[in-house]
Structures are given as structure tokens and as C-alpha cells.
A and B are shown apart, each in its own frame.
Chain A
Amino acid sequence: MPAFDEMHGFGQGVRPAYRTIQAWLDSSDPENLKRLQKEAEFLFRRIGITFAVYGDAEAEERIIPFDIVPRVLTGSEWTMLSKGLTQRVTALNRFLADVYGAGDIIRAGIVPSDLVYQNSAFRPEMVGLKLPHDVYVQIAGIDVIRTDDKDFYVLEDNARTPSGVSYMLENRDVQMRLFPDLFADTRIQPVDNYPDELLTSLRSLAPASAPAEPTVVLMTPGPLNSAYYEHSFLADKLGVELVEGRDLYVLDEVVYMRTTRGPKRVDVIYRRIDDDFLDPLVFRPDSVLGIPGLISAYRAGNVTLANAVGTGVADDKAIYTYMPEIVRFYLGEEPILKNVPTWRCREPDCLRYVLDHLPELVVKEVQGSGGYGMLVGPKSTKEQIETFRARLLADPDGFIAQPTLALSTSPTFVGDGIAPRHIDLRPFVLTGADKVRIVPGGLTRVALKDGSLVVNSSQGGGTKDTWIIDDPADDASPTSSSQSQLQSGS
């Protein structure tokens, strides 16, 4: 069965949300589009929006390909989606407060205790620690997909240090710079207030001991990290210092940064560095990226870490399978966003089924991320499947399996014209002391290879500008004025 296309549905004509895009593509000269696609790439390179691919010394700095055809969602689609995201992230935070606190959900028999307490992302250091407003995941990136025009499925919750938000912001900038006429007749919800919303959220969660004007910093592992561009970009937009571990130190359980005016107290650290590297005294002793004593300051309640330590226990792919129950348990509501049906390979019945159906399934490591170490059955050779089968048998607990979903497609500019390519969407969900904030849109990732279902940038994926537009009136057709403007612009 062909996948649902964001522009053409299942082939019953152009969906109203895409009328502007359709008119624009119809009136554009492919050669001109090709030229602008090149120019977009040049812009990204000049601005320095690059990322590093681990283990690829040749291409130390690559850009993530930007596709010039925007992805469009309507206001009502977005309203539903953002309600679902708010619900999901609220539940994630409640879950974390619970597993590091009373453990109600485990005693209620809803989530097995070994999945939590024996999880390598579970941090005993967090037990009994009271965080400001019980917020653990200040910044979440929830990957959603759809297979028709009704439902959104969550593919993955990212509750550690989700990245990609700089692309959401830069994609809009570049899209507007290259195609100003495209924006002439469409009102698109802005995304550029994201840094403001982020800063508001972070400051609202400063520790009680912080001054009225808390000092926020963004902590990066350094210029060699694959997401360094994003770190510097965000720090710049937030107007906060971009620090490395060596810029900070801890004295009497308070964190300070070394400045040209002497030591300055730090209250909130938006850290883009994994738990393992935060504090060599508590976690990996060989880490030179972290700050000795940070966790003692954290436990003393003198600094807020965003996200909190130990949030990985909630975005684990094994915990994922329990998310519908988790939502119901804490909120007493039905989940608005669906979970992809998942087989937990740790359960013998499921494992048997998965082993029997490997060529049809997608199998993922419970701890994996970034599209590494997964098997996409229908796209794999017999040999790859057999290799994977051996890995699966050796450690069934380490894997989950899902049906191969027909991710929706979206028109995408490829070498010789426009063709459908599979996409997903990562909205960024901010949780502050007062409420949850979501900037309308997110990062649309697109699998540029024909037929590929893997959208990760490390695996050859690209990105698109993501538009949330007002609901088009169903009987409206593109006005003649908008068409002529588009034509004159191309």
C-alpha cells in the first residue's frame, strides 16, 4: 500500500493545506529551484550550520541537507498535536518524580521494577532529591509520525538532551530569505520566540537559593561535539554564556564560572552533555568534560540542571512501551497521541513472534539513538537479518520491535524534480514552573533516499521548514492574485 502523502493524501487530489505549495511548485521553473537549492546549501555552510559525523574523519563538518519544499500542518492538526504533547511530557515528568520518589507506579504493578531500577540510565544519586516544581525534563523532543490524516504516533520520546531546534529556527530563516514570495499570501505561525520561551522556562526553575535574576549558562562538551553549532547558536540567541566544564568550578557546593571580572555564581545549567560526563567524582572518573563536585552542588539544591540527571530512565525504548499506561496512571486521561505497537523482546512470547517475523519488522536497541544499531527488516538483506538475529538472541532484553510503518511522505526536491519522501516531526516541548510551552512547529526530518524510512541526519536524512497555517476554508481555491505573485517571483 502506498504511504499517505502530506500533499496528495492517498491520491485523492491536493489537500487544502498544501494548495499554496502546489501553486508555487506548479509555477516554478525546476532549474530555478535547483539553483535555489544550491544557494540554500551555500547559506548553511557560510553560516556554519554544520554537524560532525562520528567516525567520519573525511567529513569533519557536514551540513544537514535542507529541503526547499516546506512541510505544512493545519491549525487544527497542531492543536490536537500540542495537546497530546503537553499530556505526554507532563506524564513523563510525573513518572520521573515518582520513580525517584515514592515509586507508586511500580508498587501498583504497572511498570516492572527491574525495568526502572536495573536500567543503566537510572541514577541512584537522584533518589529522594526534590527538584524545583518537580520538573525533570525541561526540554523534550518528541518524535511523531503519521500514517494517515487522522492519527499521530509517537515514535520516540527524547528526554535527555534532544537536539535539532537550531535547524527549526534556521530553516525558517533560510526559507524566508530564499523564497520571500512564498510567504506573501500565507500566514505561518512564527517559531522565532523559541529562545525567549526557553529562557523563561529555565529561569522559572532556578533553585530557591538563587538570586532574583538567576544566571543561566549553556554547557557544551566543546567545538568537537557534533552539535556544537547548535550549542553556540542557542547560547547566542538566549544571551547566555556558552561554557565548557573547565570554565566552571564548585566551591562550598555552589557553582561558579571563571570570568574576566573574577568568579560568578551560576544558577541554572542548560547542559548539552550526557549524564556520564557531568561530574568525574560521581560518574565517569575519566571524563575531562565535566565539573568535579557538580553533583554535590546539585544535591545541595544550589544549581538546576536542565534536563535533570537520570531522565534517560523515561525515554528508554522499553519504558516507551508503557507510556499509554503511564499517561492513564498519572493523569487519569486517555492518551491523545498513540504509541506504535511494540513487541518487548524481553517477553518470551513477543521474542518468538519477532524472531519469526524479522523481515517485516523494525528492531531497535532499547538504549540506542540516532538511528544507529537498528534493523529495518524490509530493507535488509538476508545476511543482515541473520546477523541481527544473533544479536537479538544474545540479549533479548536489549531490543524492542515494531511493525514497519508507512511513514507519511511529503513532496521533496530531489536531483531531478519533486518526489515524495518519508518524513517525521520533532516538536520541542518546554516545561517551566507555570506551564508547558510548545513553539508551533518543530523539526521535520526527511529521508532523502528513495524509499528510505530512516530520517536521522547521521543516516543521510535532511530537514524541512515546518509550517503551521490557519485551517484553509475547504472550498477555497488559490486566488488569482497569489498565483500571479508567485509566478512573478520565480
Chain B
Amino acid sequence: MLSRHADSLYWLARYVERAENTARLLEAATRLSATPIIADGGRNEWEMAVDGTGTLDLFHQQHAEATQRTVVDYLAFSLANPSSIRSCLDIARANARSVRTALTMDMWETINSGWMETRGVNSPNLTRQELSDFLSRVKELSLRFDGSAYRTMLRNDAYYFLRLGTFIERADFTARVLALKADVLDPSRPSLGGSADYFQWSWILRSVSALTSYHWVYRDNLKPNLVAEFLILKAEMPRSLVYCYENITLNLDSLSRDYGRQGVSQRKARMLLSQLQDTTLPGLFAIGLKEFLERFIFDNDSLGNTIAEQYLG
């Protein structure tokens, strides 16, 4: 396929995934803002949501204070934020339009109608209900896009590039949310007291939609070390780093099998996957959770660049 099309597909998937992730962050923040606990070095839940997207500096250039109003505007609607939901969907649709031929009708209709439905919503003074409806629609767009890709796309390079985009973006997001809260996940850290710990840990799980599944896997209360294990090492958890890398490796291997040629991307991905698989929970905390995650975010990013050099240039 055309390199330009592969590039557009890869980024299309990344932006759809990013829009969904940002929607989940906003949902988690809305929820947390309805509880009385604020105990994170004076930072409120809205600022945490911005930090989860890794763009806190940009936010503070545009807004003095993190309130529901400023953060919802910045994360959901602002065109001055290149990763806002609105920006993500605009770019996703533009990309989809430029690779119209590589998408199935169902995928294109999902993106196009989702984009049309959400572009009208644009008030900085949304009610909670309106915000919640908007976020639901964004998640629905992503779910339908994913589902229609899964159900209607040919299993060829176009599909593999799309999936690579999804999992690189997802791994990045899970790692960032965890890194943000690495300190509260350290088991040696003294308790914040009351239910404060619970709200911090559940915020992490909610941001990646993993609270219910946590209970199913561990059948236990929230424990900080298990939260970390769940989102990093559990292969059955579809947002965990291991799961993302199993899929990245799988799709890169399918690509090299179809093309009859291996490259740097394949080797790099396999190395990262085996590092993750060899990691144990005690090992993780011995290295330091924060250091581990920062290293991972860097490696993941660099794999993205390697894929671009190898295929998308």
C-alpha cells in the first residue's frame, strides 16, 4: 500500500484511541470532583486529568487555573490543544478522508457520522449531563470504529498499521496515567488516611476503565502493588503494557510475514515485549516504578519512530 496511506491509517487509529482515552480521563475527573477528597499536593482532579494527557505545560500557557470549565474546554473542545477530543476527531476524520479507499464503508461512516454528531457540541458551560452525553458519544465512536475494523476489514497491511497505531497509543496512555500516580502506588509509602488512598487508586483504574475488571481478576480490595501489576504485567488485561506489546509484536510479525522481510521494528518490539514478560512485581519496585515507566514511555515512543522510518516514510 501507499506509504502515505499507511501513515494516515496509523495516525487515524492513534487519534481515535487518544480521543477515547481523553474522554475516560474526563469522566474519571468528573467523578472524583463529586467526592470530598482532594489530597494530591494541592492539585485537584481537573489538573490531574490534564496531566494524564502529558500536556500540563501547554495548559498552563493557556489557563491560569484548572477548573471544570477550563479543563473541559481544554481537553474536550479547544483547537489550541492539538490533543483535545475535538482536535483528535478533526484529524482522525481528515485522515480517514484521505485514506477513504483503505477503510471499509462501516469504518468511514462511523468516523464521519461521529464527527458530525460531536462537532455541534461546543459550550464551555455544558451541564454535567451534556458533558456526559458528549463523552459517551466519543467513547461510542471509538468502540464502533474498533468493532467495525475488527469485523469488516481485510486482514492485510492496512489492518496491521491501524492496529499498531491503536496499541502504541494505548500503551503510551496507560504508562502515563500510571507514572502520574507512581508515588501513591509505592507500597512503602505511608497511607494518606481515610478513603484518600482508595480514591487515588480507583482514579487510576477508572481512567483506563479497569476498575471492575480489577475486582474480577484479584477478587480483593484495591492494593497499590496489584494495581501496578494489573496495568503493567497482566496479559489478560487489554490495557496493560504487556497486552499492548503482545499485539504490537503480533501485528509487526504479520506485516513482516506478508512482506517477506523483517526489520528493526520487529526486533525492537520483540525485545521490549520480552523485557516486560521478564519483569516481576518486586523487580518493578526495586527499579522504582516511576523510573521504569519513564523508560517505557521513551522506548514506546522510539518504537513508533522506528515504524515510521521503516514503513511510513
Interface residues of chain A, those whose CB is within 8 Å of chain B, are 45-48, 222-223, 228, 232-233, 235-236, 241-244, 246-247, 257-261
Interface residues of chain B, those whose CB is within 8 Å of chain A, are 1-6, 94, 97-98, 100-101, 105, 108-109, 112-113, 116, 157, 161, 259, 311-312
Q: Is the CB of A241 within 8 A of B100?
A: no
Nearest residue (CB) in A for B313 is: A258
Q: Is the CB of A232 within 8 A of B113?
A: no
Q: Is the CB of B2 within 8 A of A236?
A: no
State in angstroms the CA–CA spacing of A215 and B116 once bound together.
Answer: 36
Other than A260-B161, A260-B259, give 13 A-B pairs with Cβ distance below 8 A. Answer: A45-B116, A47-B108, A48-B109, A223-B98, A236-B100, A236-B101, A242-B101, A247-B4, A257-B2, A259-B2, A260-B2, A260-B6, A260-B157
Using known A-B contacts A223-B94, A247-B2, A258-B2, determine if residue A48 contacts B311 with beta carbons closer than 8 Å.
Answer: no
Using known A-B contacts A223-B97, A242-B101, determine if residue A48 contacts B112 with beta carbons closer than 8 Å.
Answer: yes
Q: Is the CB of B2 within 8 A of A243?
A: yes
Nearest residue (CB) in B for A48 is: B112
B48 to chain A, nearest CB (A): 37
State in angstroms the CA–CA spacing of A260 and B157 once bound together.
Answer: 9
State in angstroms the CA–CA spacing of A261 and B2 once bound together.
Answer: 9
Nearest residue (CB) in B for A240 is: B101
Total cross-chain contacts (CB, 8 A): 56
Interface residue from A46, A233, A244, A246 paired with B116 (Cβ < 8 Å): A46
Q: Is the CB of A46 within 8 A of B101?
A: no
Name B's interface SS: helix
Interface residue from B98, B112, B157 paired with A46 (Cβ < 8 Å): B112
State in angstroms the CA–CA spacing of A243 and B101 once bound together.
Answer: 10
Interface centre among A223, A232, A235, A260 (most CB of B within 10 A): A260
State in angstroms the CA–CA spacing of A223 and B96 once bound together.
Answer: 10
Nearest residue (CB) in A for B261 is: A261
Q: Is the CB of A241 within 8 A of B1?
A: yes
Residues of chain A with a CB closer than 8 A to B98's CB: 222-223
Residues of chain A with a CB closer than 8 A to B112's CB: 46-48
Q: Give 9 pairs: A residue, B residue, CB < 8 Å, sorted on A.
A: A46-B109, A223-B97, A223-B98, A233-B100, A235-B101, A241-B101, A242-B100, A242-B101, A259-B3
Residues of chain B with a CB closer than 8 A to A222's CB: 98
Using known A-B contacts A223-B94, A247-B4, determine if residue A260 contacts B101 with beta carbons closer than 8 Å.
Answer: no
State in angstroms the CA–CA spacing of A235 and B2 once bound together.
Answer: 13
Q: Is the CB of B4 within 8 A of A232?
A: no
Nearest residue (CB) in A for B312 is: A260
State in angstroms the CA–CA spacing of A47 and B3 once bound together.
Answer: 25
State in angstroms the CA–CA spacing of A257 and B113 once bound together.
Answer: 32
4 shortest interchain CB distances as A-B pairs: A232-B100, A236-B101, A260-B311, A235-B101
Interface centre among B5, B100, B116 (most CB of A within 10 A): B100
Interface centre among A235, A244, A261 (most CB of B within 10 A): A261
Nearest residue (CB) in B for A243 is: B2
State in angstroms the CA–CA spacing of A484 and B98 once bound together.
Answer: 47
B113 to chain A, nearest CB (A): 5
Residues of chain A with a CB closer than 8 A to B105's CB: 47
